[in-house]
Amino acid sequence: MNPADQLNDLFRSFRISSWRWECQGDYAVDEAALRRWRNGQPDDPARKAPWLAYIRDITSRGVRFERVRMLTEPLTEYLRWLLEQTQSNIDAGEDIRWITESQAHELRAPDYDFYLFDDERVAIMRFGTDKLLADLEVSTDPAVVDEHRRYRDLVWPAAVRHADYYATRSP
């Protein structure tokens, strides 16, 4: 199965919580959206509308959708853009926090992205040189799940809420 389809199946099947560790400095991105940002133009609200509707729907039912994004040192262009694009996700119900690369290394956070669904399934994400999702390894093995819960439990309390980070960052 295509890894994007596999991930979409996971998004449709979790019931209680989703937690993501996001640690790449760059991901594949809508180049038109990035170009608009570079030119100082506002984002097209239609671009994220389906995702934001999905988040509003699940969080309105009490499902938690949380993520921590690692900030490279120095920040990549992608992360500078993402910092300005995140508030709409927060407004829709996501709880997004930030952690510096040096803090993540101190905590021995993994160097790969993953989702932890309902504290019972882990989806380890691997990206290709084109920055697109190339592979998704899903596990319900209790040892693998416990390991990724420990990562979450180390990183989550150390990460800074988006509003707090954004309010204090340098322009």
The pLDDT value recorded for residue 1 is 86
The pLDDT value recorded for residue 168 is 83
The pLDDT value recorded for residue 170 is 56
Let me know: does 51 contact 7? Beta carbons within 8 Å.
Answer: no
Structural tokens at position 62: 């009490």
CATH of the domain at 120: 3.30.870.10
E strand intervals along the chain: 17-22, 64-71, 95-100, 113-117, 121-127, 133-139, 160-161
Name beta bridge partners: 71: 100
| Structural domain span for residue 85 | 3-168
pTM: 0.95
Structural tokens at position 86: 């995140």
The pLDDT value recorded for residue 4 is 95
Quick check: helix, strand or coil at residue 163?
Answer: helix
The pLDDT value recorded for residue 138 is 98
How far is Cα 162 from Cα 126, in angstroms, rounded to an integer? 25
Per-residue pLDDT of the chain (171 residues; tens, 9 = 90+): 899 999 999 999 999 999 999 999 999 999 999 999 999 999 999 999 999 999 999 999 999 999 999 999 999 999 999 999 999 999 999 999 999 999 999 999 999 999 999 999 999 999 999 999 999 999 999 999 999 999 999 999 999 999 999 888 755
The pLDDT value recorded for residue 91 is 97
How many CB atoms are located within 10 Å of the residue 102 CB?
11
How many CB atoms are located within 10 Å of the residue 59 CB?
15
Q: How many domains does the chain have?
A: 1
